Every structure is written in structure tokens, then in C-alpha cells.
Amino acid sequence: MKKITVLGSTGSIGISALDVIGKNPERFCVVALAAGENTNLLKKQIEKFHPEIIYVKTKEKAVILKSNIKSNVEVLYGKEGIKEVASFHDADIVISAISGAAGLMPTLAAIEAGKDVALANKETMVIAGEIVTRVSKKKGVKILPVDSEHSAIFQCLEGQKREFLKKIILTASGGPFRKMTKKQLQNVKPKQALKHPNWKMGKKITIDSASLMNKGLEVIEAKWLFDVQISQIDVLIHPQSIVHSMVEFIDGSILAQMGIPDMRIPIAYALSYPERIENDLPPLNLVKNGKMEFMKPDTKMFPCLKLAYDAGIAGGTNPAVLNAANEVAVEEFINGKIKFTNIPKIIEKVLSLHDAVNEPSLEEIIQADKWARQQAQKIIERKRS
């Protein structure tokens, strides 16, 4: 029986993960859950999965929740609370599915405690990849990718000698705005951006998919997860989302992993690795899907991808700044305060103002993140006034 902690249990990945766990009670059980604000759903999850310890964001939420549940589960909150839940002694594996840079400290706490991590929170790798990979090596913990592209690459590399790997090819659906003109793109509304053609995901990542920033973050994530150079990572637009990514070897052979676009498949693989488990999902019907297309991404229309490549190559605190500025810009776009096409402009401006630190400490990364958020806010306020 594998004992599991789910960080971000009420988010899109958390819900899918609990679905996988609930359908495999002979293999998996839940020992700890962490959620932000959605105490109604968390309460249901507690009643169904009986964790020993849980986390909610604030003291108020913790008090309300405690008075609403019959079980004698321990309820924690605040900065120390999340670390305690993330490093809870009883867990074998921690699913890291908190959205954004907020996932970094809990993920590191899990690794420090020697827990294997099923990583859905790509921002952790983007902003602190060097530290996360170093500490996980030292602690002997496995980082198992949940992100569908990285799960695909991980599967394609299984049993292969790394010296023969030439390239990683990340696929991207291209998002809902792939065929738009520049003018149309300037006027898109948050509601349109939140409609992803193939995947059902949380708000932030759906906007990132529409701007191609998600793919850019995934390039940096892949660099650290698979120990390759950024120059070895290509991105291809593949609107059908059947091939979840590919690897190319020195002899020209390319291996691809295919499947229906459902996060429960990579989640289950990360949890059951190196085994595979059956599920009740519809099989991939290649005949019905018909064609598969691949094309070059348009970085003129979607500059976020290039910004991420550049920040990834520059390294140091640049990726943390890129990510923080993006988080602020996306939030303000969702709030209707800025245009979709201003997202890359704000990020570019913040990056241009940044005095990067090479081989940053955790403290320096957190500082850079904070600084970038302030700068992004300043730029947005200046534009509005």
C-alpha cells in the first residue's frame, strides 16, 4: 500500500489524483491533504479519504473546517503548517500540485524529508531547478513527472542509454488562439482564453497554454528533470494532443508517447511507477482521430515562448523573474485589467530591469520572485493611470 500526500487537493490535478487513488484502494491510500480556500470540497475529500493530517491556508478556514468535520484529523494552517503537512512522516510519496511559485517551499520540504515527489508543479523546477535537483539527489528521492509532456519523455527514456539521446521534442496544442490574427489576439477576453481545446485544467495554466508560456516553462522544467541543455529541447505545435512528447536519439530514431489527453494517465504512472495500472478511460482511437499534424510555433505571435527560452538559457534568477512576472500578468489579465497581448510585454520589461544573480541561493530566488512581482505590478499600474 502506497501512502500518499496530496498538496493542492482541491485543484484540477488534485481532484484527478484523488480519482486515481479512489479507484485503486488496494494500491493507494491518502495520509495527508493540503488545500487553499475550497473548504467545502476539502471537507468531502476528508470524509472520503480519511487523511491523518490536513492543511488549509488561513486560521479562520481551519477553525471553520474543524467545527464542520466529525473526524479527529489534525488541521494545520499558515507557512509552517504547509511544510509540516508536506513532510508528514507517514507518506511514501507526495503529489506536488499547488499552482505557481507557492508550490516551491512545500515541495522542497517534502524532498528534505526524503519523500518521493510526483511533480505537477512545474514552477518549482523553473525557479529553483538547480537546488531541487541537487537536494533530491542528496536525499535519494525520486522526482516523478506528472506534467503530461514530461511523463511522456520520462516513459520514452525508460531503458535507454542517456548518451544516445540527442533531443527532446515537447509538443504543444497551440491553445485556443493558434489561428488568430494579431488584431484578434489583442482583444481576446479571459473567458475565451480559459477555453482550452483539448485539456481540462486550472485557470492559470490554461491562460499559460494560450500564451505558450506554459510550453516555455515546460522547456525549463525539462532541462532540469532530464539534465539536458536548453538547446537540446525543441517545441512543436501538435493541435490534436495525441503525441504528448517525443525523444530523438543520435541514430535519428524518434520515440513518442501517445494517449488520450487525460491527466489521470500521467498521474497514475507517477504514482505506480515502475508499474502500470489499468483504468476505465476510453482507449485512444487512432482511426477516429484521423490525422496528426506538427508545425513550428509562431514566437512572433506568442513571444512568451521565446522569453522563456531566453530566460532558461540565461539561467540564474532569470527564470524566477520570468515566472513571477508572468503570474502577476496572468492574474491581472484574468481580472480584466490588462490585455492578453500585454502579458509578454510586462514580462519582457521586468526581465530587462532585472539584475540577475548566478547560482542563486534559495533566499536570492525568493527575493527575485518578490522583486519581480512588485515590478510587474508597478508597470501595470503605470499603464492604467
Residues that bind Mg ion (CB under 5 A): 147-149
Q: Which is nearer to Mg ion, 109 or 126 (CB)?
A: 126
C-alpha cell at 76: 494545520
Least distance (Å) between residue 266 CB and Mg ion: 9
Q: Whole-number minimum distance, CB 7 to Mg ion, in Å?
A: 18
Q: Please, what is the minimum distance in Å from the beta carbon of residue 384 to Mg ion?
A: 32
Least distance in angstroms from the C-beta of 379 to Mg ion: 28
Q: Is the Cβ of residue 148 or residue 318 nearer to Mg ion in the bound state? A: 148
Distance CA 331, CA 291 (A): 36
| CA 20/CA 37 separation, integer angstroms | 23
Q: Pick the closer one to Mg ion by CB: 242 or 368.
A: 242
Element (H, E) at 29: strand 28-34
Best CA proximity match to 120, nearest among 16, 235, 231? 16
Q: Could you give the CA distance from residue 377 to residue 385 in angstroms, rounded to a whole number?
A: 12
Shortest CB 43 distance to Mg ion, Å = 30
Q: Shortest gap between Cβ of 245 and Mg ion (angstroms)?
A: 9
- Beta-carbon count within 10 A of 60 CB: 11
The whole-angstrom separation of Cα 221 and Cα 57 is 27
Distance CA 366, CA 381 (A): 23
Phi and psi of 355, rounded to 5°? -95, 95
Cell reading at 141:
528521492
- 45 burial type by CB count under 10 A (0-12 exposed, 13-18 middle, 19+ buried): buried
Nearer to Mg ion, 36 or 175 (CB): 175
DSSP-H helix ranges across the chain: 12-23, 39-49, 59-68, 78-86, 104-112, 122-139, 148-157, 182-186, 190-193, 203-211, 213-226, 264-272, 286-289, 304-314, 318-334, 342-353, 362-384
* Gap between the Cα atoms of 236 and 3, Å rounded: 37
The CB-of-217 to Mg ion minimum distance in angstroms stands at 9
CB nearer to Mg ion: give 241 or 375: 241
| 201/329 with CB nearer Mg ion | 201
| Shortest Å distance, C-beta 328 to Mg ion | 21
Tell the smallest beta-carbon distance from residue 378 to Mg ion (Å): 31
- Tell me the three state secondary structure of residue 192: helix
- Whichever of 196 and 373 has its CB closer to Mg ion, that residue is 196
Nearer to Mg ion, 109 or 125 (CB): 125
Residue nearest to Mg ion (CB): 147
Length in residues, the chain: 385
Closest separation between CB of residue 275 and Mg ion, Å? 23
Nearer to Mg ion, 45 or 148 (CB): 148
Contact by Cβ (8 Å): 146, 95: yes
Nearer to Mg ion, 156 or 380 (CB): 156
Query: How far apart (Å, rounded) are the C-alpha atoms in residues 156 and 256?
Result: 7
Vertex 375, ends 374 and 381: CA angle to 5°? 90
